Each structure stands twice: as structure tokens, then as C-alpha cells.
Amino acid sequence: MEFPSKLIENAVGELARLPGIGRKTALRLALHLLKAEMDTTASLAEALAKMRFEITYCNTCHSISDTEECAICANKLRDHSLVCVVSDVRDVIAIENTGQYKGVYHVLGGVISPIEGIGPSDLHIDSLVARAAAEDSEVREVILAISPTMEGDTTAFYLSRRLRDLPNVHISTIARGIPVGGELEYADEITLGRSIVERLRQAR
């Protein structure tokens, strides 16, 4: 693809690095921004820069947050006895959009994947166990809401082994409305919401 401007070429190259954006789409976006009002382009650049440099992670659940404690963990109206474990913050957003879940979350930051060199120590698993096992813990149920891929099932099995001996904590998994091999974030809101509501409690 030939460009009349090196600056356009550089912008297209950077935009095309984003997931799901090909070079043709990147070119359309670049030309749109070029024609847009200067304030529009400046606002976008400022929003992206602030997002990248100012967003932090919640000290409790490891989800993205503007402060040390995310809005969900800080919300006293949420059910803090119910912790939904997900692999990625995108899953938090997907579940919140269902409007069916009123508990809190714990974001692992990925799944166990020996092929990619990701083991339990690379994820926020120890902090989950500590959170559930703490003497003053409110946690009474942990929902394993992890995508039913091979790596996701491996991670869920490992978590079950780590949590099953906690006397006051029940472990449940989301109902299998999510297709095997499917990613949680791509499930429609009705299916995902029902899978949370109709979750299955594991035997000890």
C-alpha cells in the first residue's frame, strides 16, 4: 500500500497494530482523524494517553481502576460474600453488562498455559486464596467463571484444588451455556447472565 505522506503511513502502521484493525481500516481511521476538528483529534490523543499512564489496578481484585480500590470493591451494596473469578478484565465488563450479577470479582490476569510459559505463580491465584482464607474474610462462595478452553479448564481445576479445603467457602462454576472452547467475552448477554444465575456448586 503506497501513501502520499510518510506521516499518514506512520499513523496507519500504528493503528494497524491494534487487534482487529487491518491496514484498510487503519487508513480509513487515519483519514477520518485527519479531516476531523483539531479538538476531536486532540481529545482522543489525550484520552488514550491518560488511560495508558493513569489507570491502575485494584489492590483487592486486580481489575483496572482509577484508584487503589475499584468502584465495584468499594461499593457496599455489592455482595462481598460472592466472588466471581475471571481470567481477564474483559470478562468483568461482559458479566457486568448482563445486569445479573451483584457480587464482586477477582481477576487472575490470564490462564495457566504451559505452552506459553504461564504457570500459577504468574497469575493472581495466591491473592485469591489469601482473600478467601483471611480470618476476617466475607467470602462464602467463589464462582469460577473462566472460559471453557483447555487452558481455562486447567486453571479452574487448579483453583478448585487450592480452594476446596477452605471450610466456609463453597466453589461453583458457571452453567455450560457457554460453548466448549468459547471465550466468555464473546457470549451474548442473555446466555452469559443465565450461566451465572444457574451456576453449579461443586462437591467437596
Q: Is the pTM of this model over 0.85?
A: no
Quick count: other Cβ atoms within 10 Å of Cβ 186?
12
Indicate the fold that domain 66-201 takes in CATH: Dna Topoisomerase Vi A Subunit; Chain: A, domain 2 (3.40.1360)
Find the range with the poorest average confidence among 23-27, 131-135, 170-174. Answer: 170-174
pLDDT tens, position by position, 89-130:
999 999 999 888 999 999 999 999 999 999 999 999 999 999
The HSE-up count of residue 26 (CA atoms within 13 Å, CB side) is 18
Cα–Cα distance for residue pair 145/89, rounded to 1 Å: 12
Chain region(s) in the chain for CATH 1.10.8.420: 6-54
Residue 58 φ/ψ region, left for φ over 0, alpha for ψ in the -120 to 50 degree band, beta for the rest: beta
Q: What is the domain class of 6-54 according to CATH?
A: mainly alpha
Characterize 61-71 residue by residue with b for buried, 16 or more Cβ atoms within 10 angstroms of its Cβ, and e for exposed: bbbebeeeebe
More confident residue, 185 or 136: 136
Cα–Cα distance for residue pair 87/110, rounded to 1 Å: 5
Kindly tell me if the per-residue pLDDT of 135 is higher than 50. Answer: yes
| Unique residue bearing C-alpha cell 506521516 | 7
pLDDT tens, position by position, 45-83:
999 999 999 999 999 999 999 999 999 999 999 999 999
Q: For residue 194, what pLDDT band results from cuts at 50, 70 and 90?
A: low
